Amino acid sequence: MHFLVFKEVEATLTRHMDRAFEYVDQQSVFIKNHIAVWVPRFVQQVLKNADTGFYKNLALATDLFIKVEHDRFLSLTSGAGGEALQESTLR
C-alpha cells in the first residue's frame, strides 16, 4: 500500500493524473482483495482475546478505518475495487 500511495503522489506531483488515478484504482483493489479479507477476522480475534480496552478499541478503530478507506476509494474510482464493504465488525 505504501508503494501505491508513493507512486500516486509522485504521479500527481509530476502532473501525470492518468497514472495517479490508476494508482488510486490499484489501492482500492489492494484493500478489497487483501487487507479487507483478513482484517475482520483479526478484529474478532482481538476482541475475543484482548485483556484491555486499549487493544479492543484499537482493533475497532482499525476495522472502521479500513471500511471508510475502501468506501472512499470507491467514491474516487470507477469502482475497480468492487462494491462497498459490507463485512465489518461494526454494525
CATH (domain of 28): 1.20.1280
The residue segments making up the domain with residue 38 are 2-76
Ranked by mean pLDDT, the top range of 27-31, 60-64, 79-83 is: 60-64
For the chain, the domain total comes to: 1
Q: Is residue 89 part of a domain?
A: no
Compute the C-alpha angle 76/37/91, nearest 5°.
Answer: 75
Exposure on the CB side of residue 27, measured as CA atoms within 13 A: 25
b/e 31-54 (16+ beta carbons within 10 angstroms → b): bbeebbeebbeebeebeeeeeeee
Q: Is residue 27 part of a domain?
A: yes
Residue type, 39: V
Model confidence over 65-90: pLDDT tens digits? 998 988 888 787 655 544 544 444 44
Q: Is residue 10 part of a domain?
A: yes
Of the pLDDT bands very low, low, confident and very high (cuts 50, 70, 90), residue 36 is confident
Rounded Cα gap, residues 74 and 87, in angstroms:
16
Q: Is residue 35 part of a domain?
A: yes
